[in-house]
Amino acid sequence: MQLQSMYQEIILDHYRNPHHKGLREPFDTEVHHVNPVCGDEVTLRVTLKDVDGEPVVEDISYDALGCSISQASASVMSDLVIGKPVAEAMTISQAFLGLMQSKGEGSPDEDLLEDAVAFAGVSRYPARIKCALLGWMAWKDATAQALEVGRQ
């Protein structure tokens, strides 16, 4: 049975007890993303702070309706990204995107992706990749907008 390879225990744990969930104030930007195939949606807020001239992710808060993969992925993403400089977080985000596009053949960098390596099995199921990426794409969008606002 391949199910356990997709639904790793880590994923199910994050699904049942998502981290950083709930919308918090204050925030810099808020985005709303949907997966038009299934109607899954996420509202995500990003707060950045300036540390020695470098933008750092101070907080991510989100509210999401969706499957175990999309919920767990948003939870793992917020764990990974909160507190990191935006540049480093973007590197992690790129690495996760690469893993999702690996069709199950990727050898993820565990030091970089931590719990997110558990999603390697998802990359074998094309229909589920969008689920795993929903939160990440919302974060990237919100962060890009926050940087834009910061520049103005």
Partner 1 sequence: MSELPGGVSQLPGYLDVEAIRSDFPALARTVRNGNPLVYLDSGATSQKPVQVLDAVRSFYELHNGAAHRGAHLLSEEGTEIYEDARAKVAAFLGAHADEIVFTKNATEAINLVAYTLTSSIKPGDEILITEMEHHANLVPWQQLAQRTGATLRWFKVLPDGRLDVDTSLITERTKIVAVTGQSNVTGVIPPVAEIARLAHEAGALLLADGAQLVPHHPVDVTALDVDFLAFSGHKMLGPLGLGVLYGKRDRLEALPPFLAGGDMIEVVRMEGSTFQPPPARFEPGVPPAAEAAGLGAAIDYLSALGMDNVAAHEEVLTAHALDALREINGVHILGPDTTKDRGGAVAFEVEGVHPHDVGQVLDELGVAVRTGHHCAWPLHRALGVQASTRATFYVYNTHAEVNALADGIRYAQRFFGARQ
Closest among 76, 72, 59 to 24, alpha carbons compared:
59
User: Distance between CA 109 and CA 92 in Å, rounded?
Assistant: 10
Nearer residue to partner 1 within complex by CB, 21 or 84? 21
Closest among 134, 138, 146, 148 to 56, alpha carbons compared:
146
Stretch that binds partner 1, among 21-29, 43-51, 107-115, 125-133 (CB under 8 A): 125-133
Tell which positions 21-40 bind partner 1, by CB under 8 A: 37-40
Nearer residue to partner 1 within complex by CB, 15 or 136? 15
- Work out whether 7 is an interface residue with partner 1 (CB under 8 A): yes
The upper half-sphere exposure of residue 52, i.e. CA atoms within 13 Å in the direction of its Cβ, equals: 1
The torsion defined by the Cα of 39, 125, 64 and 117, in degrees rounded to 10, comes to -170
Nearer residue to partner 1 within complex by CB, 16 or 24? 16
Q: Write the Ramachandran bin of 9: left for phi over 0, alpha for psi from -120 to 50, otherwise beta.
A: alpha
Stretch that binds partner 1, among 21-29, 42-50, 55-63, 67-75 (CB under 8 A): 67-75
Least distance CB 52 / partner 1 (angstroms): 42
Give the residues lining the site for partner 1 (CB under 8 A).
1-3, 6-7, 12, 16, 37-40, 65-69, 125, 128, 131
